[in-house]
Amino acid sequence: MRRALTLTLLLALTLGVSACGGSKKSSPSTSTGETKVEPANITMWTPFVDPELQTLKAVVKDFEATHAGIHVKVIGGTNDDKIVAAIRGGNAPDVAQSFSSDNTGAFCPSGAWIDLGSYMKKDGVDASIFPTAPRDYTTFEGTRCALPMLADTYGLYYNKDLLAKAGYKSPPKTISQLTAMAKKLTVRDANGKLKVVGFNPFPSWYENVPAHYGPSWGAQWMNGDKSSLNTPPWQDQLKWQKSLVDWYGYDNLVRFNAGAGDEFSASNAFETGKVAMHMDGEWRVNFIKKEAPKLNYGTAAFPVADNKQDLYGAGYVTGSIIGIPKTSKHKNQAWLLVKYLGTNTPALAKLSNGIQNVPTTSASLKSPALTPLPGFQTFLNVFGNANTTTTPITRIGAANQETFQSFISKYISGSKTDLEGGLANVDKQIDNQLEQANAGQAP
């Protein structure tokens, strides 16, 4: 009995010591200029997996070095479902990162991620350090429960060899140029099967979602608190998309896509030269470096509608958000990490260099420490463009985008033909969803 007791005590001691980790060596409190906090072991969840995860861990190590006493355990490969479940179960991490800025509309109003306003005020962090779009997708109805941490912007990738072979020296700047070049760059075999697709406009293929196209037509999602998809910019965008899909033949493109390889694999259709021009995010630069280093390609802002040429240079932006779940037991320490990852210029530069995502403060965007890969500068420019937009944050998360996409797939395939009537109905559905989601909320 006594032996068992001794063993138990020993075990408890061992566990206790290992749980304390390195904090024994640290000073009793840590100072970061503004906030003094007690030492603590905190946890951060991130959706990143290797090799990106290693970059994040390296930056977190830098944070630990400058914040004595705070030890961070970084857990990769998580997602929003896990975060929500953990918040409900009371065992959420102290710091959570999400790839889905749409969910700001769920995290902020529910209080699931705490309001960062008072922390920012205390430490003198002003939201104006972020450009407009990331500033917008991290707040909801006046509550800022998240900071942006790296962004994704979209542009055009083009295969220089294929363009040169077809006699083109530069990428298209307008949609009509894109269309003409796409047709000329397309190669079919003797049976009419698509071998090379100039530009693949098939809905929902790879990055082909309306959110990414909208900015090139100056299209808006909402007018006030009503959905505004039945408007000329969206109509023009969809008419163009359908006419180009029809030019290839809908079934031909479906067959091409089915054999085109996974988007996030070395058999990506752009990386293997099956697609000559391509809409994609800035991360592709890094993927190409690893998966297709010999690909001779260039990047440019995505072409714009012929009647919106002043928009050239703009694009779509979205990004990761980072915040503190309400169940965190070390909110002060968590805030220091959130602040570091969201606002510290060297940290953002290091993250951007390692992951090749866009850094999210105006200062870090100009940091001399940035070492962008060739082609990456395009995306930094898109990010800084005043006309670059993001999708509005609503209580229904991505439901509006998905309802829209559902209609688009039917319109492009030809199973729905009435564009205006269809779009008006999509608007109605989204307004109904918004109304339904707002039921039970304080007026």
Residues that bind other proteins (CB under 8 A): 47, 80-81, 84, 87-88, 98-103, 106-107, 109-112, 152, 204-209, 211-212, 251, 254-260, 262-264, 281, 283, 318, 391, 396-399, 401-403, 405-406, 409-410, 413, 415, 425, 429, 432, 436-437, 439-441
Q: In the complex, what is the shortest distance from the CB of residue 438 to other proteins, in angstroms, rounded to a whole number?
A: 9
Q: Helix axis angle, 232-248 relative to 399-413, nearest 10°?
A: 40
Q: In the complex, what is the shortest distance from the CB of residue 432 to other proteins, in angstroms, rounded to a whole number?
A: 5
> Is the CB of residue 95 less than 8 Å from the CB of residue 337?
yes
Q: Which is closer to other proteins, CB of 320 or CB of 378?
A: 320
Q: Which is closer to other proteins, CB of 111 or CB of 346?
A: 111
Q: Which is closer to other proteins, CB of 332 or CB of 433?
A: 433
Q: Which is closer to other proteins, CB of 150 or CB of 380?
A: 150
Partners of residue 164 on adjacent β-strands: none
Here the tokens at position 349 are 């530069």
Q: How far apart are CA 199 and CA 201, in angstroms?
A: 6
- How many CB atoms sit inside 10 A of residue 92's CB? 23
Torsional class of 156: left (φ above 0), alpha (ψ -120 to 50), beta (otherwise): beta
Q: Which is closer to other proteins, CB of 212 or CB of 350?
A: 212
Judged by DSSP in three states, 368 sits in: coil
Q: What is the DSSP letter of 391?
A: P
Q: Which is closer to other proteins, CB of 66 or CB of 436?
A: 436
Q: In the complex, what is the shortest distance from the CB of residue 24 to other proteins, in angstroms, rounded to a whole number?
A: 37
Q: Which is closer to other proteins, CB of 340 or CB of 379?
A: 379
> Is the CB of residue 57 less than 8 Å from the CB of residue 74?
yes
Q: In the complex, what is the shortest distance from the CB of residue 320 to other proteins, in angstroms, rounded to a whole number?
A: 9
> Is the CB of residue 315 less than 8 Å from the CB of residue 380?
no
> Is the CB of residue 93 less than 8 Å from the CB of residue 113?
no
Q: In the complex, what is the shortest distance from the CB of residue 191 to other proteins, in angstroms, rounded to a whole number?
A: 10
**Amino acid present at 258:** A
Q: How far apart are CA 315 and CA 260, in angstroms?
A: 26
Closest among 440, 433, 125, 158 to 278, alpha carbons compared: 158
Q: In the complex, what is the shortest distance from the CB of residue 3 to other proteins, in angstroms, rounded to a whole number?
A: 34
Q: Which is closer to other proteins, CB of 99 or CB of 247?
A: 99
Q: In the complex, what is the shortest distance from the CB of residue 100 to other proteins, in angstroms, rounded to a whole number?
A: 4
Q: Which is closer to other proteins, CB of 228 or CB of 425?
A: 425
Q: How far apart are CA 417 and CA 50, in angstroms?
A: 45
Closest among 425, 395, 430, 391 to 410, alpha carbons compared: 425
Judged by DSSP in three states, 17 sits in: helix
Q: In the complex, what is the shortest distance from the CB of residue 105 to other proteins, in angstroms, rounded to a whole number?
A: 9
Closest among 308, 328, 347 to 173, alpha carbons compared: 308
Q: Which is closer to other proteins, CB of 221 or CB of 312?
A: 221
Q: How far apart are CA 245 and CA 267, in angstroms?
A: 22
CA atoms 213, 215, 216, 217: torsion sign = positive
Q: Which is closer to other proteins, CB of 100 or CB of 333?
A: 100
CA atoms 335, 338, 340, 343: torsion sign = negative
Judged by DSSP in three states, 237 sits in: helix
At which residue do the structure tokens 């390609």 appear? 297
Q: In the complex, what is the shortest distance from the CB of residue 240 to other proteins, in angstroms, rounded to a whole number?
A: 18
Helices in 128-249 by DSSP H: which ranges? 132-136, 160-165, 175-185, 210-217, 232-248
Q: In the complex, what is the shortest distance from the CB of residue 205 to other proteins, in angstroms, rounded to a whole number?
A: 7
Q: In the complex, what is the shortest distance from the CB of residue 267 to other proteins, in angstroms, rounded to a whole number?
A: 11
